[in-house]
Structure 1
């Protein structure tokens, strides 16, 4: 086995980099919509062995960068979709967006490999822990981008329930330890590797999600999915079509307890319709209505907002999106960028301002809801619960993400937020996937991608407050620090 690693180490640098990139692409198969988590573990084990074969820290960093290029290149390939909505204006940016996103994210892994190799050359476990630190860092730095984390490969499995204890970064740590167990088996350290595999297998079944049923008196939520393609959503020739579609679905059948429309469902400013929302109230027939819309304040600033309309057409509650999408909803260094003629892709009026008032919002007859608008649903550590919330309420416009991996990865992260918070989630997307998610992350009912329609679903009851709600990421950061120091201390004397 050592001979094999030695033979790999003497291959031309370009060949080694290509092999690393191919392994990274295989590793990305654990992400939605593929969900092949064993592929991620196997690929990550290969990356650990490649790291162990590196002659020096620079070579280790280069190989990790190649692995990251393959991983993020496949996992984030949907990133080109927003640039294809208005292809004549933005299409030329699409390949650069993917290259820069994959290459930039991979730099975090390269730096992790470099530091691990400097601390202890050849340590597979230390490299795995360093990758988890890299995932934590890219989740937080530069406003954060915790998408396609290593731990996300467990979503949809029983292992995902551990997020209720330690959030997404505990799942990433479990991923790294699982891959290391394969390295131990490869090295014929049967007792250590087999014992670790057995422990992980038991952990995967220890927290199985129960089958859930809503109470008989549970409020019924109507999820309305208009399926407005992004290139038509703001087109004056189609606006009324999609509005009429939502109104008709809202007025159909029996009256629910709450109706929810997606992000920017109404292609107008709240300022223009607030004085007369009676047509919406008539369609809702006394039920409160949640919808997404843009608004402008008194000094001309624009917001991406969520409105709770009461049963008589008044604004009952208002929430402005706080965590905006860089280069999508605003341009960093916006004042300079505006003078250069640049503006966010999603901003119709030149860019948005982040809101300042956190949730929750009150839903008449139901209780408190934690509001999330699109991108905000990927940040586990930023959710503000308030007192005794009954649900997470996420509205989004996933039409930006195309119809391949993006919408499914976004949905998967919504499932993880429900597990972490121990709350059911009402998720309504413009083009799908809209879903009712129970507090164990299970999809109770959904509207598939690319169709228009509505579903009425009873709201599942919340769970008891989870450990992640109480303690956040602190215990995992502490555990990571302890394991890193312990690994470094042991590796000074013995190779793992």
Structure 2
């Protein structure tokens, strides 16, 4: 073959390799809800590792991994475009940003992780272990850089069965990410010139053992339910109609009517509405607040209970109005007896970063209302009278593991969310699975009220006790599950996983450095007396 033909072949091979990486990255998203197909992870990560093992330049490794990440995040986050179609006349022009731009940025994290593994190691088991460690560390970075976005971490591949989720109680979802990447990439050892079947099986074994241990944990007797009978109201009001001024009263009356529906046995002690179910300031709306007080008074067979609802709230501080996205508890006297203000706000949804510049360029935040929401204090405690103390997670706060473990340990997790922004695609299922992992990590039951679904009651081991599907109206009447013992992960957080993966990378890097220094020594330097 002449030089021109060889050059043409190389030019062709690079686009094909990058296209293959892009498709493999998209395939990898099938491990997540609602598909839950672990086999897709084996094909995708094995394919990525095989592509890397055939590369001779670091730039090639970086761009191969970047295209893998770009395809992965486009396929995993395409549903974000739905939020920009709620008011399409104002926001549809921005869709290329979340659809292509955000995945392009997020792809940098796996690109760096993969390039580090490629640079430090040769093809073989050590490269795959290094890849799993660097991937986990860069996922941790993705969860924190620029406010963080830890959506679809590799560890959520274990969400296909409650037993597989249980190791999160010991090592959290980041630890599961390490096991997932290690196992998914292991079959690449079968494609080396010297096949390493036993090594491949050894890398898969930790994930299998972890899931097996999870089965034993799942079979152990669980704690008895709390004596709290609750009702979750899912009114299924479309996002396009939720904030329309002419429908505010109609939407509120629908929620009230569903709250007062007769239960099969007695009446609940607690009624829970989703995020911003009340689309107005309850503190300044006397009549609606009295209505909620009347609902609270009717609970527990007339002995009285509480109504918890999501609603905007304004705090006046130093003469300034500070708007919050909040959870409020209303008692029979129509008083607001407990408040939680969301602490981790959604960029571009609830506030506009670099507002002065971006507003000048014509950008606006998606949520209704003037100005930006203000985050609440980090150390809030939601402790309504007559109820066990709760840790409140509003909307996507549920995807951040650390936000479920703030201050004194609560007895349950309360997730108020409005997934109507997510459309009818994969986003709501992914969001629900991530929230269930918080229950397993903390050993706490989760109560989830979602405006359009998926609402659910989940026990302390991540099992669904009761649920309502997406895009359906209804109520859930159930007992609040009891908390389990404080988990190892709840006690230690990410310290073990972060320390272990960082140690792996440092040791591998030190070994690579020593190896290269030895290679640089003159061959005759070791023996000078002959």
2:68 matches 1:67: yes
Tell me the equivalent position of 1:260: 272
Residue 25 of structure 1 deviates from its aligned partner by: 1.1
Tell me the equivalent position of 2:201: 194
Tell me the equivalent position of 1:5: none
Residue 338 of structure 1 deviates from its aligned partner by: 4.4
Tell me the equivalent position of 1:362: 383
Residue 119 of structure 1 deviates from its aligned partner by: 2.6
Tell me the equivalent position of 2:285: 273
Q: Secondary structure at the match of 2:107?
A: helix
Q: Secondary structure at the match of 1:367?
A: coil
Q: Distance in 1 between matches of 2:145 and 2:489?
A: 21
Q: Secondary structure at the match of 2:328?
A: strand
Say if 1:302 and 1:439 are closer, same or farther in 2 by CA, change over 3 A.
same
Structure 2, unmatched stretches of 5+, are: 1-8, 299-303, 517-530
Deviations 1:127-153 (A, max 9, x none): 333222221111111110000111111
Q: Secondary structure at the match of 2:389?
A: strand
CA contact (8 A) 1:321 1:373 kept: yes
Residue 288 of structure 1 deviates from its aligned partner by: 0.2
CA contact (8 A) 2:225 2:480 kept: no
2:162 matches 1:162: no
- Find 2:131's aligned residue among 120, 127, 131: 127
Structure 2 matches for 1:223-372, cutoff 5 A?
223-253=232-262, 254-273=266-285, 277-284=289-296, 285=298, 286-298=304-316, 299-338=320-359, 342-356=363-377, 358-372=379-393
- Find 2:148's aligned residue among 144, 151, 154: 144
CA contact (8 A) 2:166 2:461 kept: yes
2:486 matches 1:465: yes
Residue 118 of structure 1 deviates from its aligned partner by: 2.9
Q: Secondary structure at the match of 1:364?
A: coil
Residue 237 of structure 1 deviates from its aligned partner by: 2.5
CA contact (8 A) 1:435 1:443 kept: yes
Q: Distance in 2 between matches of 1:145 and 1:240?
A: 35
2:186 matches 1:181: yes
CA contact (8 A) 1:307 1:317 kept: yes
Q: Distance in 2 between matches of 1:340 and 1:387?
A: 44
Q: Secondary structure at the match of 1:427?
A: strand
Q: Distance in 2 between matches of 1:194 and 1:265?
A: 50
2:214 matches 1:207: yes
- Find 2:467's aligned residue among 435, 446, 452: 446
**TM-score relative to the length of structure 2:** 0.87
Q: Distance in 2 between matches of 1:337 and 1:379?
A: 27
**TM-score relative to the length of structure 1:** 0.93
Tell me the equivalent position of 1:22: 23
When structure 1 is superposed on structure 2, of 87-96 and 459-468 the one drifting more is 87-96
Q: Distance in 2 between matches of 1:12 and 1:216?
A: 60
When structure 1 is superposed on structure 2, of 484-493 and 407-416 the one drifting more is 484-493
The structure that has the greater radius of gyration is: 2
Residue 267 of structure 1 deviates from its aligned partner by: 1.3
Q: Secondary structure at the match of 1:361?
A: coil
Q: Distance in 2 between matches of 1:307 and 1:212?
A: 34
CA contact (8 A) 2:404 2:413 kept: no
Q: Distance in 2 between matches of 1:441 and 1:216?
A: 14
2:64 matches 1:55: no
CA contact (8 A) 2:132 2:179 kept: no
Residue 107 of structure 1 deviates from its aligned partner by: 1.3
Say how many residue pairs are matched.
Answer: 487
Tell me the equivalent position of 1:4: none
Q: Secondary structure at the match of 1:457?
A: strand
CA contact (8 A) 2:134 2:501 kept: no
Say if 1:364 and 1:414 are closer, same or farther in 2 by CA, change over 3 A.
same
Residue 70 of structure 1 deviates from its aligned partner by: 1.3
Say if 1:452 and 1:300 are closer, same or farther in 2 by CA, change over 3 A.
same
CA contact (8 A) 2:235 2:473 kept: yes
Residue 192 of structure 1 deviates from its aligned partner by: 2.0
CA contact (8 A) 2:282 2:288 kept: no
Q: Distance in 2 between matches of 1:183 and 1:337?
A: 45
Tell me the equivalent position of 2:176: 171
Residue 324 of structure 1 deviates from its aligned partner by: 0.3
Residue 172 of structure 1 deviates from its aligned partner by: 0.5
When structure 1 is superposed on structure 2, of 472-481 and 203-212 the one drifting more is 203-212
- Find 1:153's aligned residue among 145, 157, 164: 157
Residue 80 of structure 1 deviates from its aligned partner by: 0.5
Structure 1, unmatched stretches of 5+, are: 1-7
When structure 1 is superposed on structure 2, of 113-122 and 368-377 the one drifting more is 113-122
Q: Distance in 2 between matches of 1:474 and 1:388?
A: 18
